[in-house]
Structure 1
Amino acid sequence: MTVEALASSVAQRVRALAPARSDYTDLPRSWRHDLLAGVTVAVVALPLALGFGVASGLGAAAGLVTAIVAGAVAAIFGGSHLQVSGPTGAMAVVLLPVVARHGTEAVPVVAIMAGGIVVLAGVLGIGRLVAYIPWPVVEGFTCGIGVVIALQQVPLALDTPRADGENAGLVALSTIGAVDWPQAVAPLGLVALVVAVMIVLPRLRKGLPASLIAVVAATLVAEVAHLDVDRIGALPSGLPGPHLPVVDLATTSALFSSALAVAALAALESLLSARVADGMADDIGRTRPNRELFGQGLANVASGLFGGLPATGAIARTAVNVRSGGRTRVASLMHALVLAAIVYLAAPLVGRIPLSVLAGVLLVTAARMVDVPTMRAICRSSRSGALVFCVTLAVTVVFDLVMAVEVGVAAAAVLALRAVARSSGLHREPFDDESEDHLTADTEHALLHEHIAVYRIDGALFFADVRRFLDEIALVSDVRVVVLRLGNVRVLDASGANALVEIITDMRRRGIVVLLKGLRPEHRRLAEGVGVISALSDDQHVFDDLQDALAHARSHVRRAQVTTRMG
């Protein structure tokens, strides 16, 4: 392909990912619902944006900037009509080690780099791969994120400086060991108040923004009681201007692995969130996964240019959007505009919110991510599902999120291959000779059955099961013809085809003729390429009908008997 043709192909793909008028087809009918849903989501998103900004190490202002800028860009360019994007707990978990190693100034650089990677993934069409992530991996990943977010809130909930370290569990233990307990009573009381309001209020009346009401109530208590607790502090009264961070080659190289991890998480979480939204609203157009990656990548680049965090599609906010009646991307855009208005009009009031109050909001959010009924269902489903879930959860908590998905998918793949291998088998079959000129003498008929063996291979003949198959077939002896029935072989890979070559070669060396019956058309090219057909003593030893194969086997046995008698 020439450079011009490649450029034209890329340009065509990018045009296919661009916004279109069809994105707003339903707007005339749903604009009222979209505006109301956008306001509702903004109310829910405000404390989460502040909390995740603080949890990431960059501060509440960075969280707000991310929710506004990334939320607006993703709403316009993303592939989902319902997705709401912004800072998330999973991204905060990934960013803490980046801040610890490289400082806060590295985060916008990572956001821009990761955004570029995600844009490239969308252009290359990688979005469809999320469908291959198993359910236990997704749930283990989500549950592990909830545990890590809860552990990260320990320093904020206790108003104690965060201990050094990257692992959330070890940091929480070190922080608890250094806490001034009399000083921690007030922030713990605010945490308890927030948790109580967020749990009790929805039971009394659904539809109320429990998290926002809890933040307002706890902040008023702190103000009236003049509690000595840490606050968010001064916030800018407007959005910062865009600027390109100054970086050199050494810095870019050092941050590349972090950017790759952030990009993987941004793509994964966004596509999973969009998939959840599609399931909640069956009457809305399905998410276009590659366009979703393209939009999320642009959102991350924009967020980094404005000094914000990397962003992803947020499951909690997206679910609120769907339940509130949002039907077009105008709802997501409205959420960003409302948050921008709050920054311009209420920054001093927001700055008075205690940090421990945000910790309380995130603790409840984290607890809701640990879905006990789903965990129980997975653990009851099968041992392999339970193992994959537990492994993914443990790796998420102990190591990091991207590694957790990699290990979880690898474990699920190994267990699936093991299950496929176990369901496969080699079976010797009895057979009836139904040909028109079949032998009539009982002794000759017995000789026929004695010198011909028919084996049926079921399931898969592939790399995970080749050794067992070779060991079983090597035991075949005292026959002159073996008919291998391949019609039930659903999966055949290069290793399986090579195993057939080894079997045929070994049997020919022992004087046994191998006939193949029922080789599927989709496997024929592979078999020919690896050398299965050429390994046969005659390229006509491949049959579609069992009786034709048996007739050929019988004639071979007869010739062999005649040769033996003449010798």
Structure 2
Amino acid sequence: MKAVASIRALLPRRSDYAAIPRTWKGDLVAGVTVGIVALPLALAFGVSSGAGAASGLITAVVAGFIAAVFGGSNVQVSGPTGAMVVVLGPVIAAHGIAALAVVTVLAGLLVITAGALKLGRVVTFLPWPVIEGFTLGIAVIIFLQQVPAAFGVLAGPSANAAVSAAQSLATVPWPEIAAPVGLVVLVAVIMIGAPRIHPQMPGSILAIIAATVLAALLDLPTARIGALPDSLPAPMLPEFDSATLLALAAPAATIAALAAIESLLSARVATSISDTGPYDADRELVGQGLASVASGFFGGMPATGAIARTAVNIRSGARTRLAAIVHAAVLLGVVYLATGPVSQIPLAALAGVLMVTAVRMVSRATVRAIVGSTRADALVFLVTAVITVSLDLIEAVQIGVLVAAFFALRSMVATSGVHREVIPGPAHSGDGHIAVFRLDGALFFGAAERVLEKVTEIQNVDVVIIRMSQLQVLDATGARVVSEMVTALERRGITVLIKGIQDRHLALVTRVGVLESLRHHKHLFAELAPAVEHARSHVRRDHEPTPE
């Protein structure tokens, strides 16, 4: 029964649509609005990835619908995104367009598996500077990937976006660049200016229309999208063989990781900016995985939740999944009714849309906040961004997390320590032979050795009291160091008393052998006063005059 309940929790339910009678008007408006916004992005991301405009459009339709129905967020909008373009381009370049369906389905199955295994909350362990550095790196890559189309030339042979952009610039026929560059500038001006005229104006679609009309009227010599299918293709099962699976296993894992991270981050952002209820992280993974699998069957790309489109959806009045479903229906209408005009869109215009989108991905306020917070966070942010651009997206996240973990451990080490205290109350004869040490903060593998050295180097004392009541974090290494500390002091003839082991640490110190290392089981105390009195009794016994 528990397994059945777990499966049912990952599936659609009637409650997903309970609010529609009250919200359907807002949902319809939001769905149409975000569908118009998504059209140029779907086409542009498809072209930029190497899969083609048709693949981007199919992904937005099929994956957008499946994720809306099966996902864990009420307002998430899914489709092709920049992160997917960045990682998918090299895969298609290396393995050919035939690999697209296979890697898309494989990645989707991996994401479904992650959701079924309840791994949805893992993304909450990613530090904020890592996420923002990753986003900055992706934005830079997307911008650089558009440089060839913006200048009307082919991309350079390098797999690195920066190097490829530089290589393409070396082949620019400078007298002939006026047309593509002019269209890019026109698109950028309209996209930046439209929201200033009215916040609800769809700047990207207006820019695409203006650029397409201008290119047609002036017969500009710029490349166009070209022919698009006027209907959805029939679903087909990709051809799997052992060699293909082996070659695409690593790229599929990378795509799956990116899809999971971006989708969950987008869903979390949606929850923070709307009052449409919490999201189910595990169900979101299952929904996004199913969306990618379905997209692969129809010849589309891997899909993820799209933060920008989701934000537009919420700002336009979306409250239920109906809005994202309508968004997919709008794009489906484009497939069946408007592929002719869409095929005439200049590639330079799509490049302009993505360049502006890339710039908007980076929040200047966020960058200032991170850079101005701490040097450690600023370094994590910059390292993640640089590695994203220069090496690999997953490596960037991994290294960023490792750098963040290093600084977090260093901070924990700095807050941990051992301090010698004065015995409270009136002084007694012989108190100089008693040392009281208080362990603070965290005693773990990063700080344990320093604590051990400071305590064991004590000289000219007969009794050491170790106070552990202020210890917040204790791991196996720290507990073992306490045991070694006791053993080393007892070996020198110094009696060790331990005071204040917290209940949550008691099982650990017992298993590691701390209590066994004490000379007597009565040397464990709950309060300091009895421990001090016991220590003084030892001193009096050892230093009282011998009767003649």
TM-score, with normalisation over the residues of structure 2?
Answer: 0.98
Q: Per-residue displacement from partner, 1:200-248 (whole Å, max 9, x unpaired)?
A: 1211222110000000001000000001110000000011111111121
Q: Note the alpha carbon deviations across 1:361-411, whole angstroms, 9 max, x for none.
A: 000000111212211111111111111111111111111221111111111
Corresponding residue for residue 437 of structure 1: none
Equivalence for 1:490: 472
Deviation at 1:514, TM superposition (A): 1.2
**Counterpart in 2 of 1:446?**
429
Deviations 1:450-471 (A, max 9, x none): 1111011110000111121122
CA shift for structure 1 position 183: 2.3
* Further displaced range: 365-374 or 262-271: 365-374
Counterparts of 1:252 and 1:539, CA distance in 2: 61
Amino acid at match of 1:507: L
1:433–1:550 CA contact under 8 A, matched in 2: no
Given the alignment, which residue of 345, 353, 357 partners 1:365?
Answer: 357
Contact conserved, 1:42 with 1:335, CA < 8 A, in 2?
yes
Which letter maps to 1:218? Answer: A
Matched, 1:463 2:456: no
Amino acid at match of 2:402: A
1:525 is matched with 507
Residue in structure 1 matched with residue 343 of structure 2 by the alignment: 351
| Partner of residue 240 from structure 1, selected from 233, 237, 259 | 233
2:56 counterpart (42, 63, 68): 63
Are 2:53 and 1:75 aligned? no
Query: Separation in 1 of the partners of 2:198 and 2:329?
Result: 27
Deviation at 1:561, TM superposition (A): 2.6
For 2:308 and 2:250, the matched residues in 1 are separated by 28
Aligned partner of 2:94 in structure 1 is 101
Q: Do 1:10 and 1:123's aligned partners in 2 also have CA atoms closer than 8 Å? A: no
1:327 matched to which residue of 2?
319
* Contact 1:433 1:547 (C-alpha < 8 Å) held by counterparts: no
Q: Distance in 2 between matches of 1:303 and 1:389?
A: 33
The percent identity for this pair of structures is: 53
CA distance in 2, matches of 1:116, 1:335: 25
- Aligned AA (1:104): I
- Amino acid across the alignment from 1:160: V
**Within the alignment, does 1:543 sit opposite 2:540 as a pair?**
no
Contact 1:82 1:328 in 2 (8 A): yes
Report the RMSD for the aligned CA atoms in angstroms.
Answer: 1.3
Q: CA–CA distance in 2 between the matches of 1:35 and 1:225?
A: 37
Q: CA deviation at 1:486?
A: 0.6
Alignment of 1:54-453 (within 5 A): 54-281=47-274, 283-432=275-424, 445-447=428-430, 449-453=431-435
Structure 1 position 11, deviation (Å): 4.2
- Flag as ranges the 4+ runs of structure 1 deviating above 6 A: none
CA shift for structure 1 position 135: 1.1
Residue identity in the other structure for 1:453: A
What is the CA distance between 1:62 and its match in structure 2? 0.2
Report the Cα distance in structure 1 between the residues aligned to 2:161 and 2:3, rounded to whole angstroms.
42
Q: Partner amino acid for 2:398?
A: E
**How far 1:9 sits from its partner (Å)?**
5.3
Q: Which runs of 5+ in 1 are unaligned?
A: 1-7, 435-441
Distance 1:129 1:457 in 2: 32
Instruction: Name the CA distance, whole Å, in 1 between partners of 2:142 and 2:262.
Output: 15
Deviation, structure 1 residue 446: 3.0
| CA shift for structure 1 position 152 | 0.4
2: CA distance between counterparts of 1:401 and 1:117?
18
Partner SS for 2:341: helix
Partner Cα separation in structure 2 for residue 519 and residue 27 of structure 1: 56
Q: Deviations over 1:316-375 (max 9, x none)?
A: 100000000000001001000110010100011100000000000000000111212211
Number of residues of Structure 1 aligned to a counterpart in Structure 2: 548
Q: State how far apart, in whole Å, the 2-side matches of 1:49 and 1:208 are.
A: 19
Aligned with residue 52 of structure 1, among 32, 45, 49:
45
CA distance in 2, matches of 1:273, 1:20: 22
2:492 alignment counterpart: 510
Q: Which amino acid is 1:156 matched to?
A: A
In 2, distance between residues paired with 1:269 and 1:62?
A: 20
